[in-house]
Structure 1
Amino acid sequence: MAKVLTEGVKEDIKTEELLVKNGLVFTEEGFREVTIKINEGKIVSIVEDEAGPMIETTGIIDASGCLVVPGFIDAHVHFNDPGRTDWEGIETGSCAAAMGGTTTIFDMPLNCSPSIINLQNLLEKREYLTSLSYIDYALWGGMTGTNLNNSQELAQMSERVIGWKSFMSESGIDDFKYLSPNELKQAMQAAKEHDKILALHAEWENDIARLTAINKKHPSMNERSAFLASRPISAEEKAVCYALELAAKYGTAIHFVHISSPKVVGLIEQAKRSGVDVTVETCPHYLIFDEEDFLREGAILKCAPPLRPRVEVEGLWECLANGMIDTIGSDHSPCLYSMKSTESIWDAWGGIQGVQFTWLAMVDEALKRGVSLKQVFPLGTSNVADRFGLADRKGRISPGLDADLVFIRLDETTAAEQESFGFRNPFSPYEGRIFSTRIKKTMLRGRVIYDDEFGMANEKLGVCL
């Protein structure tokens, strides 16, 4: 656990009724100089600073010099709880998320043990996680060949999950099997029947298996180059095209996770315009790092799909600026350091630890590129809430919604150093970076859960949505 947790936030700013004043607040109308009134964890009203009367209240938070934005929603994390808490756990994962301004996460159904592919595992996970999280959370359910034919159980699970997650290639987890092309047809129909989004890891397994076998034995190629060659953009493109055809046929709502190529984003955009109910997520690591970073740094940047050439990174930023990216997810996929320090890159765990730095990195990079923060912030707030049915509670600074707020300064920096990491195993490809922005406070339902001076709150206030 990070050293910043030792003291905890000041008790005098934990109040039921309070005002947030003097900040530049991100609202549906853009950034505004307004006062936010909060009562019992909800936003009661937003009052223009220059015209609004002073409202009697028990507390005031001075947000001078800060942007005040909705708490970020990360729809893609692996906190590995229960079963693999030595890799992470929701306690440390939610701590790191809060330190980075994230107030809600959707935990994936694999990397915990057992995977969430039946009702019993789901109910046990929900019960186990109670009172362990610093932030609010929802759970994905897993749809695999194992449970596709159990329609009654899928119906019961669908009432308790934010959506379904499936793989079109090997997941790396023994009890979470990927879907064959025929099984994906069944999954599309089941997700439609239960009116839930189907999130897809889209890489074509047959191509990956064939190319892996070839490139592992390539006499003139080093292992890192061979790994990149084993998972080309064409495998991602093939899987996405197939899934889009099925989604159009069955009317299924689908969400592609961690898309790594602008060409693939373009294909999804075309389908969206033709009426397919589809959204696309990318991750900070595909917008910041490239294949040269992986070739130099190795396993710490191993992920699937792999990092792409710099031209692909730049193309993704063009897609983002043009409104073709719907959401940003960290795909926080932690592990023990020993699982990265393997002799062979093929044996190293594929996943990047980054939930604490998602929005520091995104804001930093957007400012460098001249991309408007008005375009960037919805990718982790209102867009996510709208897509996953949380718009009546999360994702905006608006009366009636949860008072989940993040206070960001653009004139202070943040150094990514091991002693400040909130996640369990202190390594990350972001280590050593200096971000040109700083998270000053994070609020969950009107309570300050992180303060950059005093650290994390002692209470774990997170609930399952």
Structure 2
Amino acid sequence: MKELWVKNGLVFTEGGFLEVNIRIMDGRIDSLIKSESGPLLEKTGPMIDASGCLVVPGFIDAHVHFNDPGRTDWEGIETGSRAAAIGGTTTIFDMPLNCAPSVTDLKTLMDKKEYLTSMSHVDYALWGGMTETNLTNSLELSEMSEGIIGWKAFMSESGIDDFRFVSPDGLKQAMQAAKDHNRILALHAEWNEEIDKLTVFYKPRLGINERRAFLASRPIAAEAKAVSYALELAAQYGTALHFVHISSARVIELIEQAKKSGVDVTVETCPHYLIFDEEDFINCGAILKCAPPLRPREEVEGLWDCIQKGWIDTIGSDHSPCLYSMKTTESIWDAWGGIQGVQFTWLSLMDEALKRGIKLKQILPLGTTNVAERFGIAHRKGRIRPGLDADLVLLRLDESTIADKQSLAFRNAYSPYENREFLLKVKKTILRGKVIYDDQSGVTKEKLGICL
């Protein structure tokens, strides 16, 4: 049996941060032992010295688009997972679109699983796509459901030709199918009809700032309408629902009310909605284009209030990369909407939380325990507990990280986080007992990630 110790760190446990040493056996946490000198610890085997570090569970990012296979010139799982590891993420869930073809049938799912084998630096699971096209194929959906972490559907245009959004009537079928297959249904919730109407109105208008026009075409009202409709259906069908990248505190309040009424629903937001606002988008342009778009500063503050109230369940990067040329189009309407951020998800979030005086013990579950429990992997991931995978991150709060261009690990080296300084640093990332990233030597060449 292979033994490893992580000693002398301040470890985030279910009892808070404690001075304990972690014994790892064959990639799993064997025991947590109080940091006291004595014969037991003097005789320990190979050791990682975590002196001066916080030791936290490896982060789980349930929302990435690594575009592999098919659009690896945009990213790819090799570069995407490398960036994730550098940022302390040890498990990702890859979305079913932006790869080509989209994962909407069993053959594509199985082909993708086979293709990705031995290519990832971190562990991963795959989402399956539920679209207007495949909703009626109950046998196909049933067979796919065994190999996915959950279903993803759009209530508005996805931007990908082979991933059609579900209509209001189609969403009823999607709710029933997800319930029948005992899988979570994750929704991109914006009301397509309203977006189309507003886009037709704002897009051709002269004399209006084009970036402000884009913002006006995707208002909070379109998000709220979609969420309200989906919540009504989830209550009716008993579907487990997960809203991705919610951008407004007003919308999260609707979800919180539904939770209290018994709807099985959780909600994710993203670091870019907690860091940047619509004025940043107006000033910087397409590098910060996303959907839903960035919101006014009062909405950013509202989201932080929701975090402190415990109303937000998970944080996902929604890492959605593309070629830089797709961000430099003449018109903002033609630019790709998506933000490159998986490398900085937790650095940015923890940095901002600490500046606001929010304790890390309130932030860490949003990317560890909560994600693992919601998506059924808590028996392996999400905590530092005996029996679970030894996925660990060593952090220092007395060192900083500067996101200069040379440090960007994405295939296309740009990001809205570029040149920002975060007042903490990932020193090591450990996946199932093996160091996959060290701030001195970088990411290991060996790709240890497996499909969950």
Which letter maps to 2:356? R
After TM superposition, give the deviation of residue 55 of structure 1 in Å: 6.4
After TM superposition, give the deviation of residue 142 of structure 1 in Å: 0.1
Q: Which runs of 5+ in 1 are unaligned?
A: 1-14
Q: Distance in 2 between matches of 1:218 and 1:58?
A: 69
Question: SS where residue 303 of structure 2 aligns?
Answer: helix
In the TM superposition, structure 1's runs of 4+ consecutive aligned residues that sit over 4 Å from their partners are none
After TM superposition, give the deviation of residue 54 of structure 1 in Å: 1.3
Question: SS where residue 358 of structure 2 aligns?
Answer: coil
TM alignment of 1:334-413, pairs within 5 A: 334-413=321-400
Q: Distance in 2 between matches of 1:251 and 1:87?
A: 38
After TM superposition, give the deviation of residue 145 of structure 1 in Å: 1.2
Aligned to 1:28: 14
Which letter maps to 2:265? V
Q: Deviations over 1:204-250 (max 9, x none)?
A: 00000000010112233111000000000000000000000000000
Which letter maps to 1:50? E
What TM-score does the superposition give when structure 2 sets the normalisation length? 0.99
Question: SS where residue 196 of structure 2 aligns?
Answer: helix
Give 2:118's match in structure 1, choosing from 131, 134, 143. 131
CA RMSD of superposed structures (Å)? 0.9
Which letter maps to 1:123? M
After TM superposition, give the deviation of residue 103 of structure 1 in Å: 0.2
Which sits farther off after the overlay, 45-54 or 225-234? 45-54
The answer on 1:330 being equivalent to 2:323 is: no
Aligned to 1:43: 29
How many residue pairs get matched?
Answer: 451
TM alignment of 1:280-359, pairs within 5 A: 280-359=267-346
Aligned to 1:228: 215
Q: Which runs of 5+ in 2 are unaligned?
A: none
Whether the aligned pair in 2 keeps the contact of 1:16 and 1:446 (CA below 8 Å) is no
Question: SS where residue 74 of structure 1 aligns?
Answer: strand
Q: Distance in 2 between matches of 1:417 and 1:48?
A: 39
Q: Distance in 1 between matches of 2:17 and 2:252?
A: 29
Q: Distance in 1 between matches of 2:43 and 2:391?
A: 21
Q: Deviations over 1:36-62 (max 9, x none)?
A: 000100000000112773164431100
Q: Distance in 2 between matches of 1:16 and 1:118?
A: 40
Aligned to 1:237: 224
Question: SS where residue 54 of structure 1 aligns?
Answer: helix
Which sits farther off after the overlay, 54-63 or 217-226? 54-63
Q: Distance in 2 between matches of 1:74 and 1:49?
A: 31
After TM superposition, give the deviation of residue 364 of structure 1 in Å: 0.4
Q: Distance in 1 between matches of 2:206 and 2:427?
A: 52
Aligned to 2:5: 19
Question: SS where residue 41 of structure 2 aligns?
Answer: coil
Which letter maps to 1:314? E
Question: SS where residue 91 of structure 2 aligns?
Answer: strand
Question: SS where residue 249 of structure 1 aligns?
Answer: helix
Aligned to 1:7: none
After TM superposition, give the deviation of residue 120 of structure 1 in Å: 0.3
The answer on 1:82 being equivalent to 2:82 is: no
Q: Distance in 1 between matches of 2:74 and 2:12?
A: 35
Aligned to 2:87: 100
Percent identity (aligned): 73
Q: Relative contact order, CA 8 A, sep 6+: which one is greater? A: 1
After TM superposition, give the deviation of residue 16 of structure 1 in Å: 3.0
Q: Deviations over 1:100-129 (max 9, x none)?
A: 000000000000000000000000000000
